[in-house]
Amino acid sequence: MEEITSVFVTESREQLEAMEAALLQLEDSPDDADILGAVFRAAHTIKGGAGVIECRFLVAFTHVVESALDKLRNGEIAANTDLIALLLACSDHMGNLIGVLEAGADAPDADLQAEGDALLARLQRDWLSGEAAGKAEAVQPPATTNDEVRASGGGVVETDCWHISLRFGADVLRGGMDPLSFLRYLGTLGSIERIETLADAMPAADEMDPESCYLGFEISFASNADKAAIERVFDFVRDECTLHILPPRSKLADYMQLMMALPEDAMRLGEILVRIGALTQAELDEGLRAQSATCVPDEEGQAHAPAPLGEILVERQVVQPELVEAAVVKQKQVSDKKAAEARLIRIQADKLDRLIDLVGELVIAGASVNLLASRAGQADLTEATSIVSRLVESIRDSALQLRMVQIGETFNRFNRVVRDVSRELGKDIELVITGGETELDKSVVEKIGDPLMHLVRNAIDHGIEPPEVRAERGKNPRGRLELNAFHDSGSIVIEIVDDGGGLNREKIAAKAIERGLIQPGHTLSDQEVYGLIFEAGFSTAEQVSNLSGRGVGMDVVKRNIQSLRGRVEISSTQGAGTRFSIRLPLTLAIIDGFLVGAGRASYVIPLDMVVECMELETQGNERNYLNLRGEVLPFIRLRKLFEIPGELPRRENVVVVKAAGQKAGIVVDELLGEFQTVIKPLGHLFRNLRGIGGSTILGSGEVALILDVQALAQLAAKGEESALTHNQTGRNSLAG
């Protein structure tokens, strides 16, 4: 049951996400039948799964929600803002109930139960016109006895019961499903009048697999439910079972076609249909005679099944051959799609993490083998190790790809946030998402959610003005908030852009002076002033609201982003809006690196950021920039930055790097070539070192530091700017 519950919890949370997304779409398209159907299916699937695992409190709550959605789908009630808000609250409560189930509790606590009762009371009072909340609707089966089976002259079997033929697949038990639980849930829609269990597929005892299922059922089922509702009972095992459903009063030919489609002997199936009351003996005999007459004998005198229906219709010129071919192609496409979906498997995240760790150790061991092979000087050994290195690199790329997920899943969560928060503040805000297909490491996605949440709420509260203010300023009363993601130089950039009033530079600077963060008269760039909002306790809000104003949060945002080896930048235009740009590494595990040396130490530069390498022409030059084909390239010397002792080498090299659209040079002693780099985090003692983003282990066992290219590029740019300012000041002094 624990395994079944785990699968149900995972799939139900996915259904809730789909339900919430559809409800938000429904607000803009209240009459869209596809969206209405998607919302209903999500709720019904959750209710069905809860019934299978016998989670009664979730079934009871979801049943009432499903009743409201059914009325909505059938046009009995109309979707409006109030109903959608209530259904979203019900969706949240269903998530809380799933959490109760996940925690292993038998029932929700008193507070959660009271919250659910209040939601059901609102549904009952406002939308369900007094239907009983929390209780399944009583299904009254037709008043027929088991012997009330009659045949009419028109070839229709007059029984008021549905007939269900069910054959479970061999892998149902391996998937953690209990076949009997589906039959118990089927009983909630009506009454199972008669049932026959078939075990014809069961092999001999010595050949039986205890993990395989060999069961089939023939069921006579009395219910007022429709065929779609009966089919949905088996949604969780739809791909692992064969299901045939005949409605009440089906034709005799339909029963005979069913018998021919099932794997058991037709005569044995006929006897079972007679026993459960689907057919009489006379009808069975008549049907078997008619079936024998329609079989066509072959050259050896053996009867075989008639031609497919499509061929018969074409021969009789009822339909065109093109229509039959199109139907066959469509059927094959559906079959192929189901087969592709069946190939998907769920893997626990900790198993992937373990795989990545092992691949990282394999990369380090491979580097050690390569070093030993190069020292040995044997050509055959060197060639063999190079082949192993290529294979290790392929394994590394494949393993990392397993952890890559689209960031659109994270972005879509903010549709609800923007809707709820903007309504709370009395604002009308449109959320625009682009670049949702951009992929990055799952561990990065999990940790970036909270910083994004705070920045989005901050943009809604602080950034975008109320509609009346926007109208006064000549803007569209409806605000615009954008979430965008794209790849750039081996990193991923996430942007949060609003078209609000922008940051007030003077107000931020005045607040910083008031708090003693900067001195009066001190000149700061726009980036430095905007960066002050990330200081702990810093806020320019005049009033404290439920969302912001206490100066708590932005410092945590910056700290969390830095913990991911990322950085955040701000650009703003007064009256036009603000842009927060978060730059993150694609993965926190393994990267392609470029190994360089300075003194006796080794350093790694992310290979994606390396543009080119060149020799530093003038040795001992104290300038911190050079002419790169007519372009001024600021550079920084690692020896000087890290205070590395020793004499300068005869030749120095410049590694030209590019980060965030900015080029810079890193001056090193040696160029040691490409290197697969397993990233090891630095301890808390070294986390604030300038220009260092992590560490790695070389094949020799030595530790090499991974350079933070963007930080070094900014240091180089600042050094160039200060040098130019100093030279200009000197020239002005001489001129004076």
Instruction: Kindly report the pTM of this predicted structure.
Output: 0.61
Pick the CATH number of 349-403 from 2.20.25, 2.60.120, 3.30.310, 1.10.287: 1.10.287
- Provide the pLDDT for residue 291: 64
How confident is the model at residue 622, as a pLDDT? 64
Least confident of 140-149, 173-182, 311-320, 552-561: 140-149
- For domain 590-731, the CATH class is mainly beta
Candidate CATH numbers 3.90.1820.10, 3.40.1080.10, 2.40.420.20, 1.20.120.160; the one for domain 2-126: 1.20.120.160
CA distance 295 to 302: 9
Percent of the chain with pLDDT over 90: 13
On the 0-12 / 13-18 / 19+ scale of CB atoms within 10 A, 70 is middle
Q: What's the rounded mean pLDDT across residues 116-125?
A: 89
Amino acid of residue 609: M
Question: Which is more confident, 551 or 53?
Answer: 53
pLDDT band at 131 (very low <50, low <70, confident <90, very high): very low
Rounded to an integer, what distance in angstroms lies between the CA atom of residue 547 and that of residue 503?
18
Mean pLDDT across the chain, nearest whole number? 79
User: Over 80: is that where the pLDDT of 22 sits?
Assistant: yes
Looking at the predicted structure, is the pLDDT value of residue 201 above 60? yes
What residues does each domain of the chain span? 2-126, 150-293, 349-403, 406-585, 590-731
Rg of the chain over Cα atoms, rounded to whole angstroms, equals: 35
> How is 512-580 classified by DSSP, letter by letter?
HHHTTSS-TT----HHHHHGGGGSTT----SS--SSS-SS-SHHHHHHHHHHTT-EEEEEEETTTEEEE
CA 405 – CA 586 distance, rounded (Å): 11
CA distance 349 to 498: 35
User: If you average pLDDT over residues 115-127, what whole number do you get?
Assistant: 89
pLDDT of 341 above 80: no
Lowest mean pLDDT among 211-225, 291-305, 419-433, 533-547: 291-305
CA distance 42 to 235: 11
Tell me the C-alpha distance between 356 and 441, whole Å. Answer: 12
- Return the CATH architecture of domain 406-585: 2-Layer Sandwich (3.30)
Asked if the model's pLDDT at residue 30 lies above 80, the reply is: yes
Best CA proximity match to 406, nearest among 486, 510, 343: 486
Q: How is domain 150-293 classified at the CATH fold level?
A: Alpha-Beta Plaits (3.30.70)
pLDDT at 550: 38
Number of H helices, E strands in the chain: 23, 25
Over residues 599-646, the pLDDT tens digits come to 888 999 988 889 999 988 755 556 778 888 888 888 988 888 888 888
Cα 25-27-31 angle, rounded to 5 deg: 85
Q: Tell me: pLDDT of 304 over 50.
A: no
Closest CA to 592 of 353, 381, 400, 365: 400
Q: What pLDDT, on a 0 to 100 scale, did the predictor assign at position 307?
A: 47
Mean pLDDT within 718-733: 50
CA distance 605 to 704: 10
pLDDT for residue 632: 87
